[in-house]
A and B are shown apart, each in its own frame.
Chain A
Amino acid sequence: MMNKLIFGRYIPGDSFIHTLDPRAKLLASFYFIGIIFLANNWQTYGILAIFTLFAIFLSKVNIRFFIRGIKPLIWLILFTVALQMLFTQGGTVYFSWGIFTITEFGVINGLFIFCRFVLIIFMSTLLTLTTPPLDLSDAIEYLLRPLKAVHFPVHEVSLMLSIALRFVPTLMDETEKIMNAQRARGVDFGEGNLVQKMKAVVPLLIPLFVSSFNRAEDLATAMEARGYQGGDGRTKYRVLHWHSKDTAVILAFVALTVVLIFLRS
């Protein structure tokens, strides 16, 4: 079951990208999604594609993992591309039938959208493949820190995030156990029509829910027994280190932005 999950798939390694500070990686990924909207012609998309492929090359992760990351989203991508192609007006008309027209602009726009999707997925997959979930939650906590000024509960959110991440495999195991236990008692999962399928999920969902409550209670007691009194006055065991190469990565992204602005039409 774990293997199907894209979320939290981390491939250990010691490449340039792996050893970057998670804050740098997280910021860069979000920044990339922002600047991808600057691209509007072949040169700019070309630059972005080269940049992404170079990052993937630096991570030393097999490109097949990235292609696999696209698979679950392929229908969404194709659907969006098709809509773009069928409904964009302008340029040479290749084909027309009722309200559907395939035009030169439509085809180009569709291809652009396709590139945009693929590049965003590649970049975010690169982030999750090279960063352990725990480091990501540390990075999120650090980056949310300014929000403390507006009384946003940064410590609580990051604690919840890291506990949630830590319990993902535990709950997956438990789900599998309950499923097998219910199968042994004659429940058919994934059989029959939609209503029957939904009904079959109930004997899985309720025990899982109840056991989560029990787990939460046990965990809270254990945390309190170990002196947890909230975020104030706590020190931190994990610390993040920002190196010069992290600055270099951010600078590379800024340079990329300048190039994009220069090349866009």
Chain B
Amino acid sequence: MMRLLRNNVKNMFLKNCFLVRNTNVKCWRTDRFHNYNMWNTVENNGIRGFSSSSFEEIKKMNMFTAINSAMHNVFESNPNSVLLGEDVAFGGVFRCSLDLLKKYGNMRVFNTPLCEQGIIGFAIGLAENGFTTIAEIQFGDYIFPAFDQIVNDVAKYRYRSGSSFDVGKLTIRSTWGAVGHGGLYHSQSPEAFFAHAAGIKIIVPSDAYKAKGLLLSAINDPNPCLFFEPKILYRSSVCDVPTGPYQLELGKADVVRQGSDVTIVTWGSLVHKMKNAAEILSKKHNIECEVIDLQSIIPWDIETVQKSVEKTGRLLITHEAQLTNGFGAEIAAKIQERCFYNLHTPIKRVCGYDTPFPHVYEPFYMPDAHKVIYEVKKMMK
């Protein structure tokens, strides 16, 4: 019954993918602030990072095609790369693994039985024995059956063996975050659960360009990485992406908007929303916000955040995950330690409420531009 139910929900979800996009377009058309564009391409020159090859060709890609492109780059150049997970063979339920099976065969791209603890355990065995392994967990909400394998094994593998063995060649990809109607089990943002497991890196990209560069860095990193993909952005985030491989540095945040009054730190799909909030605050309230895309949860870029808060004197952190024990708490405590004398006002966190993620109440649950604008105005008093 559980399996049948989940499959049905997945199929319904897939069918509705385009509906999500249409809904957003509709919102855009009716939005009062018609001067800004929901689909702005992220300016490439604002990205901090480096490339491992020249940009021989650039194409318009959305996030799922960028991730697909990243994996094709890896499989093409590395004969010891493997992708496994539920439904990855036909292209995956979000189409991220499109054409990989066709091109590289069933030994390297394969469906697994439906069992998350098995996926990660099996992937550990492969990664530990020389294979660059990409393990896919279909939804971040279903990563918890593998929690023991990730926390007790993946994270501790190198340490417990004195570096004799490691699973640095393992990258776990999973979908992440709200999507409009995912309810309790297709909307979660579990990054904080894993932030407490010393030994793994955690990454959440906010657009297609970053997704490809960060994923390639994660796959090449000599540490196991958890790569969370904001599923709301799979089709809606469109920008110019090089077709060849390039890497964006892990552990580095990106200042996506300069400002002098308030620092807003966020990641994933909220980055775009916060840029919009910042524009509104600037135009209507004369408040200049600096917006930082954290990108990397573990290790996180404390230098960039610290430098920003030293300038602005105020910090607001926002994330979709619940407030209590969300990763914002870690940022707040650390910045309070380091920037105590610069802070004009208490650090504010605008996050998901401490409830399970609701279906019909999603618009009221989510930290959005309105809530952030509301709180930033209070911070300025």
Task: Tell me whether A and B are bound partners.
Answer: no
